[in-house]
Each structure stands twice: as C-alpha cells, then as structure tokens.
Amino acid sequence: MNAVVSALVSGLSRIGLWGRGVVVAIPYLWLLLFFMVPFLIVFGISFSESIIAQPPYSSLVDWLKDEDAGTSKLQILLNISNYFRLGGDDLYILAYLNSLRIAAVTTLLCLAIGYPMAYAIAKADPARRGPLMMLVILPFWTSFLIRIYAWIGILKGNGVISNLLEWVGLTSGPVEILYSDWAVYIGMTYCYLPFMVLPLYSTLEKMDPSLLEAAADLGSRPFKSFLSITLPLSLPGIIAGSLLVFIPAVGEFVTPELLGGPDTLMIGRVLWNEFFSNRDWPVASAVAIALLLVLVIPIMIFQHVQGKQAEAGR
C-alpha cells in the first residue's frame, strides 16, 4: 500500500515537473523559431547574391556533383559585397547618421516635455496620479498611424498652424512645415512621449520625499535640491525612457515616410525601399544587420536596466 502511494506521489510530482517544462518550452520554442531563427536567416541572406528568381537570392550552400570523377563537393559561397556597398555608398552612411541624429533629437524633445510632466504627476495628490497617468497612456491606445495622420492636417501649408500664424499676422501666406525634418521630430516626439513619461513617473513616484524635506531643512534652495537629489535619483528612469524612445526611433519607417521630405533619409526607409522597390533582398538584409549592429549596445543596456528593475520589483 505504501509503495503504491509513494509511486503515485512521485508520479504526480513528475507530472508537475513535466508540466513546468511544458510551460517554459512552449513560449521558448515559439521565440526560438519566430524570433531567433529569422535573425540567423537574415544574417545568412546578407551574404548571398541578388538574382532574378523566386526567392530572389542565391543559396549559400551548394552540393556540386562531379559526374566524371563520381564525387561531389560542398560549396559555400559567401558574398560580402553587400557590406562593401553599404560602406562605400554615401547614401547608406548618410541614412545611418541621419537616423541617429533624428532619434537623438526626438529623445531629447521627449525628455524635455516628458520630465516636467512626470515630475508634476508624481508630485500631484495621490488620488489624482492614476487618472493623470491614464491620460498620458490613453493616446498610446489609439492608432499610431492615425496619430501621425492627425499631424499632416496640422503641419501642411494651409493647415492649422499655417492658418493660425497667418491669422495672428506673423506670416503672410501659407507656411509648409510638413515634409521636413521638423515635421518628423514633432511626429515622433508625439508618438513616443508616453514611453518616456511612464518609466520617469515610476522612478519619481518611488522617491522618498523626506530626502527633499531634509535638504530644505538644511537650507538648500528647491532648484539646488532638484539638481543634487531628484535628478540623480531619477537617472534610471531617464535611461530607461531614453532607450525606449531612442532604439525604436532609429529604425522608424512610418513617420519619416509620411511626414518627412524626400531628403529625410532614415535607415528604416532605405531598408523598405531596397526590399519593396529594388527587390534586393540581400542588400536589405545587410542593411538590417548593420542597423542591428548600431542598436546592439543600446539594446543590451536596455535589457540590463530592465533586468535590474525586474529584480528590484520582486
């Protein structure tokens, strides 16, 4: 009887362990197949040659059969000319530099608008913080595309801003802001602002107010207390928010395509055109790999910060 019970218990605990394994394995395998493997394929295809075929790239590995000798050999062709093309053509280098510049300006603008907002919400009455944060996040739930579209009507010549300036008397005639770098800055800042405010708010809200009181008691002016206490303590939030804005902004496609001019070159746009207009899949893959190389350090910092926050939350 005892033996039966113990067998049953060990059987059940094995099912428990087995169940645990399944719970990990399902998302793990999904991510390996649909996230990890695709990168390896992109990496592989970036070394192939563009050919006119379906699919339009040469295969890297071939079995060559020698009929006379009766042997066959494995041939691996790695073509690195795609990368030379990226390094040698001004268009690509310019697009990379432009993307970094536009993403950096967007991040700074988000920080400039988002920090005072997050600070004000964290200082507000506790009962009002929830609804105030809700109002920041709410636009994020409405379509990204629709929000970019809203700015077209505002920024174009004869648009809302143009008419307003004319009405006030500052300008005589339509002002075209649309199709310029500034339009892209405004649109991207608009879309990414919630990503900046969220982590800033969560670090500022956790801050102990007694530190500021102590500083005030010791005669520190509010502005100085802010610089020497609040700002350093909110640094994790600043880093997390900046990375959440900067990393996707570098690879942004929709905003520069809809709001930017033809010379607002960004790397996401170059990749899109290589793929859809030129149908050059290998070069598009090389552009993607180069973009990832630019982003790998910020992404690793982000994961480090993210991991630390998860540890702290536990």
Partner 1 sequence: MKKRVGFLSWALLFGYAFLYVPIALLIVFSFNESRLVTVWSGFSTKWYGELLHNDALLDAAFLSFQVAAVSATLSVLLGTCAGLALTRFGRFRGRTLFGGMITAPLVMPEVITGLSLLLLFVAMEQWLGWPDGRGVTTITIAHTTFTMSYVAVVIQSRLAGMDGSLEEAAMDLGARPAKVFFVITLPLIAPALVAGWLLAFTLSLDDVVVASFVSGPGSTTLPMVIFSSVKFGISPQINALATLMVLVVATGIFIASIVMARQDRQRKRDEQMAIQNG
Tell which positions 295-314 bind partner 1, by CB under 8 A: 295, 298-299, 302-303, 306-307, 310, 313-314
Q: Decide: is 250 part of the binding site for partner 1 (CB under 8 A).
A: yes
Residue 61, strand partner residues = 76
The contact pattern for partner 1, residues 195-234, with x = CB under 8 A and - = no contact, is --x------------------------xx-----------
Closest CB to partner 1 among residues 101, 123: 123
In angstroms, give the least distance from the CB of 74 to partner 1. 18
Residue 7 touches partner 1, criterion: CB under 8 A: no
- Tell me whether strands 71-76 and 61-66 are parallel, antiparallel or unpaired: antiparallel
Say whether residue 160 binds partner 1 (CB under 8 A): yes
Please report whether residue 91 would count as binding partner 1 according to CB under 8 A: no
Window 99 to 118, contacts with partner 1 (CB under 8 A): 113-114, 116-117
Using the rule CB under 8 A, is 32 a contact of partner 1? yes
Quick one: 4 or 68, whose CB is closer to partner 1? 4
The binder of partner 1 chosen from 7, 41, 211, 231 (CB under 8 A):
41
Of residues 42 through 61, those in contact with partner 1 by CB under 8 A are: 42, 45, 55
Q: Is 291 in the site for partner 1 (CB under 8 A)?
A: yes
> What residues from 119 to 158 belong to the interface with partner 1 (CB under 8 A)?
119-121, 123, 132, 134-136, 138-139, 141-154, 156, 158
Of how many residues is the chain composed? 314
Is residue 292 part of the contact set for partner 1 (CB under 8 A)? yes
